[in-house]
Amino acid sequence: MKYIDAHAHVFETLCGFGADGELRALPGGKARWATGEVIDLIPPAYGDTTFSAERFLSVMDEHSVEKAVLLQGGFLGFANSYLEDVVKKHPERFAASATFDPYCRNASKILSNLLETFSIFKFEMSTGCGIMGSHPDFPLDGPMMMPIYEEIAAHRGVVVFDLGSPGDGSNQPGAIRNIAETFPGLPLVICHLMSPRRHHRKELEEGLKTMKRENIHFDLAALHHKVRPEEYPFPTAGEFIHLAKDIVGSDHLMWGTDAPSTMVQYSYQQLLDYQLELFTEVERDRVFYRNAEEIYFNRG
């Protein structure tokens, strides 16, 4: 069976920024927010202060993962130039997103420049590590963002959102539905299955029904972390995935790991195995490979 990790990260320099200020690397795979909070970021076996594309390739090869989609956002910091270089060096293994802050005065110029080399754009909107962690809440289908989607759609691109969790100002299923209906040819991907916490089953169900559109898709990365505390094989995460299958269908779901931070507590193999058990053989082909292949790799 072939696999594509539809949500992963690499970085050569940690320059994260969010609601807790800057995130900077410490020895031993740890990192510190400006608030003073120290977190575990990289598994000790996989790096100290960096997690390079080459290191991730070794992880992928160990687990027979053919390709991966490299996303970026505020948690690790923006790295458009690095990811551009990574894809040029390994075009058969990686697709990568660009990102930028739409509040930049020269946002239009930035977008035009990035569109020369990127077709995938990720906007981490969350109130924690995303754009709304350092800017006021704003409508995702408002006048600042809609021209950006229009330009990306005109270039046959893809837009990826991290919406944060239900209840956050960034979590706007109705706005996502409006964007999808306004640009029906533009694929939209919602990270982490909308990032529900353990008590958000009702909100997840309502959000999935609201966003059930042909051009809206969901990755399942780090869902086990969102519903913590929970031990492997993560029954609540499994329940939420079954709910998503019932509402939007396996044609709209993609496996992902959110590596490297998710490998601090659980192995890459565990992040693969627990979701494999939730799908039939036919569904696995879609969720673990073909959906990501069609959305991220075959847009030409």
Question: CATH code at 14?
Answer: 3.20.20.140
Judge residue 105's burial from the number of C-beta atoms within 10 Å of its C-beta, 0-12 exposed, 13-18 middle, 19 or more buried.
exposed
- Report in angstroms the alpha-carbon separations of 161 from 36, 143, 229: 28, 17, 24
**Structural domains in the chain (count):** 1
Per-residue pLDDT of the chain (300 residues; tens, 9 = 90+): 999 999 999 999 999 999 999 999 999 999 999 999 999 999 989 999 999 999 999 999 999 999 999 999 999 999 999 999 999 999 999 999 999 999 999 999 999 999 999 999 999 999 999 999 999 999 999 999 999 999 999 999 999 999 999 999 999 999 999 999 999 999 999 999 999 999 999 999 999 999 999 999 999 999 999 999 999 999 999 999 999 999 999 999 999 999 999 999 999 999 999 999 999 999 999 999 999 999 999 875
**What's residue 263's pLDDT?**
97
Q: Residue 177's closest CA among 124, 217, 216, 220?
A: 216
- Report in angstroms the alpha-carbon separations of 38 from 14, 15, 30, 48, 229: 14, 15, 7, 14, 19
**For residue 165, what are the domain limits?**
4-297
Question: pTM above 0.95?
Answer: yes
* Structural element, H or E, at residue 31: strand 30-33
- Report in angstroms the alpha-carbon separations of 181 from 35, 65, 186, 221: 40, 34, 9, 25
**What's residue 300's pLDDT?**
55
Q: Facing residues of 8 across strands?
A: 70, 259
